[in-house]
Amino acid sequence: MNFLEEKIVKEGVVKKGNILKVDSFLNHQMDVKLFRQMGEEFKKRFADKPINKILTVEASGIGIACIVAECFDVPVVFAKKSKSVNIDGEVYNAEVESFTHKCKNQVLVSKKFLNPEDHILIIDDFLANGCALQGLISIVSQAGGTVEGIGIAIEKGFQQGGKIIRNLGFQLESLAIVESMDASDGSVVFREQ
Ligand code: G4P
Ligand code: NA
Ligand code: NA
Protein backbone atom coordinates (compact mmCIF):
# COMPACT_ATOMS: atom_id res chain seq x y z
CA MET A 1 0.00 0.00 0.00
CA ASN A 2 1.21 3.53 -0.69
CA PHE A 3 0.96 6.44 1.77
CA LEU A 4 -2.54 7.48 0.66
CA GLU A 5 -3.94 3.94 0.70
CA GLU A 6 -2.55 3.53 4.21
CA LYS A 7 -4.21 6.76 5.32
CA ILE A 8 -7.53 5.65 3.80
CA VAL A 9 -7.36 2.31 5.64
CA LYS A 10 -6.49 4.08 8.89
CA GLU A 11 -8.92 7.01 8.80
CA GLY A 12 -11.41 6.53 5.97
CA VAL A 13 -14.96 5.45 6.81
CA VAL A 14 -17.04 3.37 4.39
CA LYS A 15 -20.65 4.55 4.25
CA LYS A 16 -23.65 2.88 2.74
CA GLY A 17 -24.16 3.57 -0.97
CA ASN A 18 -20.45 3.17 -1.82
CA ILE A 19 -19.45 6.47 -0.24
CA LEU A 20 -15.99 6.78 1.28
CA LYS A 21 -15.75 9.43 3.97
CA VAL A 22 -12.29 10.97 4.14
CA ASP A 23 -13.16 14.22 5.82
CA SER A 24 -10.58 13.84 8.61
CA PHE A 25 -7.73 14.39 6.13
CA LEU A 26 -8.88 15.20 2.59
CA ASN A 27 -12.00 17.29 2.16
CA HIS A 28 -12.98 18.87 5.46
CA GLN A 29 -10.03 18.80 7.84
CA MET A 30 -7.00 18.78 5.53
CA ASP A 31 -3.67 17.02 6.12
CA VAL A 32 -1.34 19.41 4.35
CA LYS A 33 1.72 17.17 4.84
CA LEU A 34 -0.18 14.41 3.07
CA PHE A 35 -1.10 16.87 0.29
CA ARG A 36 2.61 17.66 -0.11
CA GLN A 37 3.41 13.95 -0.47
CA MET A 38 0.69 13.80 -3.09
CA GLY A 39 2.19 16.79 -4.90
CA GLU A 40 5.64 15.20 -4.91
CA GLU A 41 4.21 11.96 -6.26
CA PHE A 42 2.41 13.85 -9.06
CA LYS A 43 5.70 15.64 -9.86
CA LYS A 44 7.32 12.23 -10.40
CA ARG A 45 4.47 10.85 -12.46
CA PHE A 46 4.26 13.92 -14.71
CA ALA A 47 8.00 14.67 -14.77
CA ASP A 48 8.20 14.68 -18.57
CA LYS A 49 5.29 17.10 -19.07
CA PRO A 50 5.72 20.88 -19.58
CA ILE A 51 3.08 21.85 -17.01
CA ASN A 52 2.66 25.60 -16.47
CA LYS A 53 -0.69 25.73 -14.65
CA ILE A 54 -2.90 23.65 -12.35
CA LEU A 55 -6.69 23.58 -12.83
CA THR A 56 -9.25 22.26 -10.36
CA VAL A 57 -12.90 22.82 -9.44
CA GLU A 58 -14.38 24.14 -6.23
CA ALA A 59 -14.72 23.26 -3.47
CA SER A 60 -12.76 20.27 -2.25
CA GLY A 61 -10.21 20.12 -5.06
CA ILE A 62 -8.82 23.53 -4.13
CA GLY A 63 -6.76 22.61 -1.07
CA ILE A 64 -4.93 19.76 -2.79
CA ALA A 65 -4.48 21.78 -5.99
CA CYS A 66 -2.82 24.65 -4.08
CA ILE A 67 -0.20 22.37 -2.56
CA VAL A 68 0.36 20.59 -5.88
CA ALA A 69 0.81 23.99 -7.54
CA GLU A 70 3.47 24.88 -4.99
CA CYS A 71 5.31 21.61 -5.77
CA PHE A 72 5.23 22.42 -9.50
CA ASP A 73 5.96 26.13 -8.85
CA VAL A 74 3.09 27.21 -11.12
CA PRO A 75 -0.19 29.12 -10.63
CA VAL A 76 -3.47 27.38 -9.81
CA VAL A 77 -6.93 28.23 -11.14
CA PHE A 78 -10.18 26.80 -9.84
CA ALA A 79 -13.37 26.56 -11.88
CA LYS A 80 -16.37 28.08 -10.11
CA LYS A 81 -19.70 26.33 -9.89
CA SER A 82 -22.87 28.20 -10.69
CA LYS A 83 -26.52 27.21 -10.92
CA SER A 84 -27.17 29.99 -13.37
CA VAL A 85 -27.11 29.43 -17.11
CA ASN A 86 -26.84 33.18 -17.84
CA ILE A 87 -23.24 33.10 -18.89
CA ASP A 88 -21.64 36.24 -20.28
CA GLY A 89 -18.93 36.17 -22.95
CA GLU A 90 -16.11 36.60 -20.47
CA VAL A 91 -15.99 33.00 -19.27
CA TYR A 92 -15.48 29.49 -20.58
CA ASN A 93 -18.21 27.22 -19.28
CA ALA A 94 -19.35 23.59 -19.28
CA GLU A 95 -22.35 21.81 -17.84
CA VAL A 96 -21.56 19.20 -15.19
CA GLU A 97 -24.07 16.68 -13.95
CA SER A 98 -23.59 15.25 -10.46
CA PHE A 99 -24.93 11.74 -10.06
CA THR A 100 -24.26 11.80 -6.34
CA HIS A 101 -26.15 15.04 -5.78
CA LYS A 102 -28.64 14.60 -8.65
CA CYS A 103 -28.23 18.10 -10.02
CA LYS A 104 -26.65 20.06 -12.86
CA ASN A 105 -24.16 22.87 -12.41
CA GLN A 106 -22.29 25.14 -14.74
CA VAL A 107 -18.55 25.28 -14.16
CA LEU A 108 -16.89 28.54 -15.19
CA VAL A 109 -13.40 29.90 -15.69
CA SER A 110 -12.70 33.49 -16.69
CA LYS A 111 -11.13 33.80 -20.15
CA LYS A 112 -8.40 35.88 -18.49
CA PHE A 113 -6.90 32.83 -16.77
CA LEU A 114 -6.67 30.21 -19.54
CA ASN A 115 -5.10 30.60 -22.98
CA PRO A 116 -3.67 28.60 -25.90
CA GLU A 117 -0.16 28.62 -24.39
CA ASP A 118 -1.33 26.77 -21.29
CA HIS A 119 -0.17 23.22 -20.53
CA ILE A 120 -2.53 22.14 -17.79
CA LEU A 121 -2.45 19.54 -15.05
CA ILE A 122 -6.00 18.97 -13.78
CA ILE A 123 -6.23 18.02 -10.10
CA ASP A 124 -9.23 16.78 -8.09
CA ASP A 125 -9.91 14.91 -4.88
CA PHE A 126 -12.34 12.26 -6.20
CA LEU A 127 -13.04 10.66 -9.54
CA ALA A 128 -16.36 8.82 -9.73
CA ASN A 129 -18.32 9.18 -12.95
CA GLY A 130 -15.93 11.73 -14.36
CA CYS A 131 -18.46 14.42 -15.22
CA ALA A 132 -16.57 17.14 -13.38
CA LEU A 133 -13.36 16.15 -15.16
CA GLN A 134 -15.01 16.15 -18.55
CA GLY A 135 -16.25 19.67 -17.85
CA LEU A 136 -12.72 20.83 -16.98
CA ILE A 137 -11.28 19.14 -20.08
CA SER A 138 -13.89 20.92 -22.20
CA ILE A 139 -12.98 24.27 -20.67
CA VAL A 140 -9.25 23.79 -21.43
CA SER A 141 -10.05 22.85 -25.00
CA GLN A 142 -12.33 25.90 -25.41
CA ALA A 143 -9.34 28.00 -24.36
CA GLY A 144 -7.13 26.26 -26.94
CA GLY A 145 -4.87 24.94 -24.17
CA THR A 146 -3.42 21.46 -23.69
CA VAL A 147 -4.35 18.97 -20.96
CA GLU A 148 -0.98 17.41 -20.11
CA GLY A 149 -2.41 15.13 -17.47
CA ILE A 150 -4.93 14.54 -14.72
CA GLY A 151 -4.02 13.83 -11.10
CA ILE A 152 -6.64 12.43 -8.74
CA ALA A 153 -6.35 11.55 -5.07
CA ILE A 154 -9.01 8.81 -4.90
CA GLU A 155 -10.57 7.10 -7.90
CA LYS A 156 -13.62 4.90 -7.42
CA GLY A 157 -12.52 2.18 -9.80
CA PHE A 158 -15.93 0.51 -9.87
CA GLN A 159 -17.48 3.63 -11.45
CA GLN A 160 -17.00 4.56 -15.09
CA GLY A 161 -15.04 7.84 -14.94
CA GLY A 162 -11.52 6.42 -14.98
CA LYS A 163 -12.20 4.15 -17.92
CA ILE A 164 -13.86 6.94 -19.94
CA ILE A 165 -11.04 9.43 -19.33
CA ARG A 166 -8.26 6.88 -20.07
CA ASN A 167 -10.06 5.80 -23.25
CA LEU A 168 -9.98 9.45 -24.37
CA GLY A 169 -6.18 9.12 -24.28
CA PHE A 170 -5.37 11.26 -21.24
CA GLN A 171 -2.62 10.38 -18.76
CA LEU A 172 -4.76 9.91 -15.66
CA GLU A 173 -2.88 9.19 -12.44
CA SER A 174 -4.92 8.27 -9.37
CA LEU A 175 -2.94 7.83 -6.16
CA ALA A 176 -5.48 5.36 -4.76
CA ILE A 177 -7.96 3.37 -6.84
CA VAL A 178 -10.72 1.77 -4.78
CA GLU A 179 -11.81 -1.48 -6.43
CA SER A 180 -14.49 -2.23 -3.85
CA MET A 181 -15.56 -1.37 -0.34
CA ASP A 182 -17.90 -2.82 2.23
CA ALA A 183 -19.88 -0.72 4.70
CA SER A 184 -20.67 -3.74 6.89
CA ASP A 185 -17.05 -4.35 7.93
CA GLY A 186 -15.45 -1.10 6.73
CA SER A 187 -13.03 -2.88 4.40
CA VAL A 188 -11.53 -1.22 1.32
CA VAL A 189 -9.85 -3.09 -1.54
CA PHE A 190 -7.40 -1.17 -3.77
CA ARG A 191 -6.40 -1.87 -7.37
CA GLU A 192 -2.76 -2.99 -7.68
CA GLN A 193 -0.85 -0.28 -9.61
P1 G4P B 1 -18.07 12.91 -10.91
O2 G4P B 1 -17.70 14.35 -10.82
O3 G4P B 1 -16.86 12.01 -10.98
O4 G4P B 1 -19.06 12.62 -11.98
O5 G4P B 1 -18.69 12.54 -9.54
P6 G4P B 1 -20.15 12.50 -8.94
O7 G4P B 1 -21.02 13.44 -9.68
O8 G4P B 1 -20.54 11.09 -8.80
O9 G4P B 1 -19.78 13.10 -7.52
C10 G4P B 1 -20.37 14.24 -7.01
C11 G4P B 1 -19.58 14.79 -5.84
O12 G4P B 1 -19.42 13.78 -4.83
C13 G4P B 1 -18.18 15.25 -6.18
O14 G4P B 1 -17.92 16.35 -5.38
C15 G4P B 1 -17.30 14.07 -5.78
O16 G4P B 1 -16.01 14.51 -5.44
C17 G4P B 1 -18.02 13.56 -4.57
N18 G4P B 1 -17.86 12.13 -4.32
C19 G4P B 1 -18.15 11.09 -5.13
N20 G4P B 1 -17.94 9.94 -4.50
C21 G4P B 1 -17.51 10.24 -3.26
C22 G4P B 1 -17.12 9.46 -2.13
O23 G4P B 1 -17.15 8.22 -2.13
N24 G4P B 1 -16.72 10.14 -1.03
C25 G4P B 1 -16.68 11.49 -0.98
N26 G4P B 1 -16.25 12.05 0.15
N27 G4P B 1 -17.05 12.27 -2.02
C28 G4P B 1 -17.45 11.64 -3.14
P29 G4P B 1 -18.60 17.75 -5.72
O30 G4P B 1 -19.94 17.85 -5.10
O31 G4P B 1 -18.52 17.95 -7.21
O32 G4P B 1 -17.64 18.76 -5.18
P33 G4P B 1 -17.21 19.34 -3.77
O34 G4P B 1 -17.92 20.64 -3.62
O35 G4P B 1 -17.50 18.32 -2.74
O36 G4P B 1 -15.79 19.51 -4.04
NA1 NA C 1 -16.22 16.33 -3.28
NA1 NA D 1 -14.07 17.56 -6.00
Listing DSSP states for 113-151 in one string gives G--TT-EEEEEEEEESS-HHHHHHHHHHHHTT-EEEEEE
Residues 154 and 127 sit within 8 Å (Cβ to Cβ): yes
Domains of the chain: 3-180 (3.40.50.2020)
- Please give the number of the atom of ligand 1 that sits closest to the Cα of 60: 36
Q: Which residues surround ligand 3, an ion (CB under 5 A)?
A: 60-61, 124-125
Nearest residue (by CA) to ligand 1, atom 17, is 126
Number of helices (H), then strands (E), in the chain: 5, 10
Q: Which of 16, 80, 98 to mutate to test the pocket of ligand 1 (most atoms within 8 A of CB)?
A: 98
Name the residue with the closest Cα to ligand 1, atom 18. Answer: 126
Asked if residue 51 lies in contact with residue 45, where contact means CB atoms within 8 angstroms, the answer is no
pLDDT digit string (tens) for the chain, length 193 residues: 999 999 999 999 999 999 999 999 999 999 999 999 999 999 999 999 999 999 999 999 999 999 999 999 999 999 999 987 667 789 999 999 887 777 889 999 999 999 999 999 999 999 999 999 999 999 999 999 999 999 999 999 999 999 999 999 999 999 999 999 999 999 999 999 8
Q: Which of 108, 25, 85 is nearest to 60 (CA)?
A: 25
> H or E element: which one contains 16?
none
User: pTM for the whole thing?
Assistant: 0.97
Please count the other Cβ atoms lying within 10 Å of the Cβ belonging to residue 180: 14
